Structure 1
Amino acid sequence: MRVLHVYKTYLPDDFTGVPRVIHALVEGMAQHGVQSHVLALSKTHGGTERTVDNHRVHLAKQDINIASAGLSLSGFGLFRRLARDADIVNYHFPWPMADLLHLLGRPKAPSVVTYHSDIVRQKNLLKLYAPVQNLFLSQVDAIVATSPNYVRTSAVLANFPDKTSVVPIGIPDVTPPAAALVESWRDKVGEGFFLFVGALRYYKGLQFLMAAARETGLPVVVAGGGDTTEWAEMGGPSVRFVGPVSDDDKIALLELCRAFVFPSHIRSEAFGVALAEAARAGRAMISCEIGTGTSFVNLGGETGLVVPPEDVPALGAAMRTLAAAPDQAADYGLRARARYENMFRAEAMAGAYLELYRQLIAGR
């Protein structure tokens, strides 16, 4: 089986969010003999092809970027060539150019949309784009959401109940961090802190975490790329910004922390892969109820605590609760690890997609 994945960015330019999910999926598929190809855009590597681990990446030159949506003229010809040889085309939504690739390219292979998120921020442009979006989603063969929570709360997915199913995002297992690396981080930031890991983006709710840190005085470590200028002074002396970290560093920090705190406050945070990584590490979690997959990964009262979004007193109270009750935090962590084993392994995600692909091919 040959599968073509289509998304706006990928390695070597981007390995966060959706690209990381695509990588876990295609590498899981490789274990079943599936040949995976990824079509993406690149400002610096356009027109090139490369092998990444066990799959092939094809990069078209990005000509323009409008509202975080890259466009490429050469991408249309590249898509037609790649789709011609594909048994399945899997689009990763949202990316408006993918809609056009499908509607104009008209691939013969069955098509799947992995629906990662509604379009949340560009509301004015959405009014113009909505007819194209709805036509695209009506024509594809299957839509896969990443959590039942998102299916229940997405007005877009409500229009396509008969073709929508749920496959949770899965992440691969990792080896424990080297003892020397853990000790190095212990020397830098201590232990028993509250950890945030992620890009410092508008929807991550960092302003509320900073306010809660200042209010409680509890230690917080923030790891991730982005401009910290606006946040650095808000959190006070108990907050440490450590910048972007490698996967190994992230695993070491998770081993040292008391709990993982994830204050994303709007629907742009559709799932929260970082929460799944915290569950994999067996750490209690604090997240916000925003009607998305964050409350699917972190079950309130079972794997951690769930608080209202933008509610600094509630966030601070949750942090105080786990700081004062290490046994409870540890119990949440054990339950989180068990939930990861049952729900969020990369192998399970790959297996579910493979079954869907086979059904669609057989149906044709």
Structure 2
Amino acid sequence: MKVVMVCRGYHPARGGIERHVQDLSGFLSRYMDVRVLTVSTRGKTDVRPVDGIEVTRAGRLFGMGSVSIAPSVGRYLKEFDADIYHFHFPFPWAELSWLLTSLPKRLIVTYHHDVDLPSFRAAVYRYQTMKFLSRADRILVSSPHLMRSSPILERLQDLCSVVPFGVDVKKYELTEEVARQARDFRLRMNSSRIVLFVGSLLAYKGLKNLIRAMIDVQAALVIVGKGKMEEELKELARDIGLASRTHFMGEVSEEEKIVLLYASDVVVLPSTESQESFGLIQLEAMACSRPVISTRLPTGVPFVNLDGVTGLVVEPGSSYPIAGALNRLFRDRSLARRMGEAGQKRVIEHFNLQQMGQKVFRIYQEVLARSESAIIEDGEEFGKIGVSKGQNSEIESVGKKK
């Protein structure tokens, strides 16, 4: 089986979508031919392997806001001649390219989040989005909450399947070296309490509320990530007298992030808008047995973090609920510990990478089985989808890709 992951960015680009595509591609590449199509940050096309997966970064002509214009995307879609084209929405230029090429191929779309645009652009993109999504064989959604709350998906429910995101739990196991580095970091912070945020420094992340909440919380705040609001957030911390307790770390490696997760007492996701559709950092925190404080958005954020079980869920848009939740966890260490343990158990049982990969693979099978090139009933074409006759549909039973 040949699969092309089509996404707006890929490693080493940072972000939840980029991370999800990398994890899913890496897992599936053990069993099938996977390649990635994305857009270069430069004008020249670049093709090279990343962790054994061939990544084509189509040359970028120019940008319109956050949309990259890369004319060669359509040509590569045709040239790859894959069995499955797996798009990660939103990626406007690639979606338009797919509509223009009209390839007679199987289309899977992971719908990551709704798009918030000015009124005129929103109307144009909504029209394109509906045409594009209506041609999908299946739309994957990370939570039932997002499927119900999205104004786009409400008209496409019959095409949707819920496939929660997952992480490689083994990667987050606490080793002696990670424990040592986490202890060293806490000593450098000179604080017995550490609050951690990881993500892009953008308005919808609600970081102003988190920084203001720290006025009433005796702890150090560690902020990991970059974004256009960085200087504004630093100025806010200075203005309210929290500069000495607010530490901006910039972007860090995956290994460093795991150390910071174990060094922290609690991880906060204070997002205020539905653009935060899942919050992958919640899974990472839970995998490290850290309680999570997140906001009650209509998306999948509270689907991941169960209020009162794996952490606390507060109303978005204000600093006071965040401060109250932080102080509650700091006052009751046993509660924080129980929530951390419950979170780790929840990730292992419901949000691990293997489960996610298996579900996606089965959907690939089902979609190909409906095409003329995969006659499952007679068992004549099983080799085309990587499964031998008589085997079950679990990934473990799939032979290595040919």
Shorter-chain TM band: over 0.9
The residue that corresponds to 1:221 in the other structure is 222
Equivalences for residues 47-86 of structure 1 within 5 A: 47-82=45-80, 84=81, 86=82
Structure 2 CA distance for partners of 1:279 and 1:45, relative to 1, 3 Å: farther
Matched, 1:248 2:255: yes
Of 42-51 and 160-169, deviating more is 42-51
> What is the CA-CA distance between 1:233 and the residue it aligns to?
4.1
Aligned partner of 2:17: which letter? Answer: V
Residue by residue, what CA displacement relative to the aligned partner does 1:26-56 show, whole Å, maximum 9, x if unpaired? 111123x111111011133732211111321
| TM-score normalised by structure 2 residue count | 0.86
Give me the whole-angstrom Cα distance separating, in 2, the residues matched to 1:320 and 1:145: 34
The residue that corresponds to 1:339 in the other structure is 346
Give me the whole-angstrom Cα distance separating, in 2, the residues matched to 1:234 and 1:11: 31
Give me the whole-angstrom Cα distance separating, in 2, the residues matched to 1:228 and 1:64: 25
Give me the whole-angstrom Cα distance separating, in 1, the residues matched to 2:256 and 2:182: 8
Give me the whole-angstrom Cα distance separating, in 1, the residues matched to 2:341 and 2:43: 43
Give me the whole-angstrom Cα distance separating, in 1, the residues matched to 2:155 and 2:55: 33
Matched, 1:275 2:282: yes
Matched, 1:9 2:16: no
**C-alpha contact 1:181 1:249 (8 A) present in aligned 2:** no
Give me the whole-angstrom Cα distance separating, in 1, the residues matched to 2:141 and 2:187: 41
Give me the whole-angstrom Cα distance separating, in 1, the residues matched to 2:326 and 2:355: 32
The residue that corresponds to 1:207 in the other structure is 208
> What is the CA-CA distance between 1:128 and the residue it aligns to?
1.6
* Total equivalences in the alignment: 360
**C-alpha contact 1:67 1:122 (8 A) present in aligned 2:** no
Who wins on radius of gyration, i.e. which is larger?
2
Equivalences for residues 47-196 of structure 1 within 5 A: 47-82=45-80, 84=81, 86-173=82-169, 174=171, 175-176=173-174, 178=177, 179-189=179-189, 190-196=191-197
**C-alpha contact 1:214 1:238 (8 A) present in aligned 2:** no
Could you say what secondary structure the match of 1:40 adopts? strand
Structure 2 CA distance for partners of 1:212 and 1:198, relative to 1, 3 Å: same
Aligned partner of 1:135: which letter? Answer: K
Equivalences for residues 296-311 of structure 1 within 5 A: 296-311=303-318
Could you say what secondary structure the match of 1:21 adopts? helix
Aligned partner of 2:11: which letter? Answer: L
Q: Could you list the runs of 4 or more consecutive aligned residues of structure 1 that deviate by over 3 angstroms after TM superposition? A: 121-124
The residue that corresponds to 2:394 in the other structure is none
> What is the CA-CA distance between 1:191 and the residue it aligns to?
4.5
Matched, 1:288 2:287: no
Could you say what secondary structure the match of 2:236 adopts? coil
Matched, 1:232 2:237: no
**C-alpha contact 1:258 1:283 (8 A) present in aligned 2:** yes
> What is the CA-CA distance between 1:291 and the residue it aligns to?
0.9
> What is the CA-CA distance between 1:149 and the residue it aligns to?
0.9
> What is the CA-CA distance between 1:298 and the residue it aligns to?
0.6
Q: Which runs of 5+ in 2 are unaligned?
A: 372-402
**C-alpha contact 1:2 1:87 (8 A) present in aligned 2:** yes
Of 39-48 and 104-113, deviating more is 39-48
Q: Which of 33, 40, 46 is equivalent to 2:38?
A: 40
Give me the whole-angstrom Cα distance separating, in 2, the residues matched to 1:146 and 1:70: 25
Could you say what secondary structure the match of 2:286 adopts? helix
**C-alpha contact 1:260 1:284 (8 A) present in aligned 2:** yes
Q: Which runs of 5+ in 1 are unaligned?
A: none
Q: Which of 336, 342, 346 is equivalent to 1:329?
A: 336
Aligned partner of 2:234: which letter? Answer: A
Of 320-329 and 167-176, deviating more is 167-176
**C-alpha contact 1:168 1:349 (8 A) present in aligned 2:** yes
Give me the whole-angstrom Cα distance separating, in 1, the residues matched to 2:62 and 2:193: 45
Aligned partner of 2:359: which letter? Answer: A
**C-alpha contact 2:60 2:69 (8 A) present in aligned 1:** yes
Aligned partner of 1:325: which letter? Answer: D
> What is the CA-CA distance between 1:256 and the residue it aligns to?
1.8
Aligned partner of 1:228: which letter? Answer: E
> What is the CA-CA distance between 1:68 and the residue it aligns to?
0.7
Q: Which of 317, 320, 340 is equivalent to 2:324?
A: 317
> What is the CA-CA distance between 1:93 and the residue it aligns to?
0.3
